[in-house]
Amino acid sequence: MPGVEVIAYTDRSLLRRRDLDFVITYDSPQLTREEAADLLSKKLNVSRDRIALARMAPLFGAKTVKGHCHVYESAQDLKDIEAKHILDRMTGKREKPEKQEQAKAKTKKKEEDTG
C-alpha cells in the first residue's frame, strides 16, 4: 500500500502556492510522476491539476521517493507561475529544441546531395 508523508511545509503567499517536501513509499517497480501527483492530490485533498512536482529522487535500495512539489491555489496560477519545463514534465510533452531539428534537416540534406 503506497504511503505519503509530508516532511516540510512552507506557505508562499506571494506566489499563491504551498511548497511541500514529501516522501512516498510504493509497491510497484517504479513510481511515475503521474502516480506521485495522484497520491499527493489524495493526501492533500486538492485536485491534481493544482500540483507541480518540482523534484523527485528515488532512495537507493528502497521503494521510496523523496521529492518537492508546489501546490497552487488554482490551476490557472500553476500555468501562469510555474516554469515551462516543469509543466512539460507533468503533461509528458517533450518538444525537441529547434536547433536539433535544424541539425537533422541539414544532415538529411547533405545525405540527399551526396547520395
pLDDT digits (tens, 9 = 90+) for 63-113: 999 999 999 999 999 899 888 888 888 777 655 566 667 667 767 766 777
**pLDDT mean across residues, the chain:** 86
Q: What is the CATH number of the domain that holds 21?
A: 3.30.70.3370
Rounded distance between C-alpha atoms, residue 39 and residue 24, angstroms: 8
pLDDT at residue 76, as a whole number: 92
3-state secondary structure of 34: helix
| Backbone Cα Rg of the chain | 19
Arithmetic mean of pLDDT, 25-49: 92
Arithmetic mean of pLDDT, 5-27: 94
Strands (E), the chain: 3-12, 17-25, 51-58, 64-72
pLDDT at residue 87, as a whole number: 85
Domain count, the chain: 1
pLDDT digits (tens, 9 = 90+) for 53-76: 999 999 998 999 999 999 999 999
3-state secondary structure of 28: coil
Rounded distance between C-alpha atoms, residue 17 and residue 46, angstroms: 12
